[in-house]
Amino acid sequence: MEYLYISLGAALGGSLRYAISIRLNEKFWDGFPLGTLSVNVLGSFFLGFILYYLTEKQNLSSEMKLFLGTGFCGGFTTFSTFSVEVLKLFKTSGFFPAFLYILLSLSLSLFFVFLAYSISPGFFRS
């Protein structure tokens, strides 16, 4: 049954990632993977909320932990796509755009996971 929760979350997260990535990549900077950057930052933000909820409230069911954490966030964010896009940027645009993408991805994702964790008490009052 655990695999069902993970699969449902991953299907939802992966579908949402695809929709956001396609939309942002078509609408904004052609050649710069804004879609993947955005979903990785949003996924980090969402995971910060989940982390707070799990560590401070601890009343999330094991099924919901699997659905949201492993399934949804795992399907929504993607490190392998990020790695391929860094390589593509390096090959097509050079060092600076690839380095900028790495820097933005890591710094923004870390910032947003900390931000979500720190503002979570306001969202999850008892």
pLDDT in tens, 40-76: 898 888 888 887 877 777 777 888 888 988 899 889 8
Min mean pLDDT across 15-29, 35-49, 55-69, 79-93 is at 55-69
Mean pLDDT of 12-28: 90
Cα–Cα distance between 71 and 68 in angstroms, integer? Answer: 6
At 92 the pLDDT is 92
Cα-Cα-Cα-Cα dihedral of 78, 82, 88, 91, to 10°?
A: -160
Q: Nearest CA to 4 among 64, 77, 86, 56?
A: 64
Neighbour tally for 23: CB within 10 Å? 13
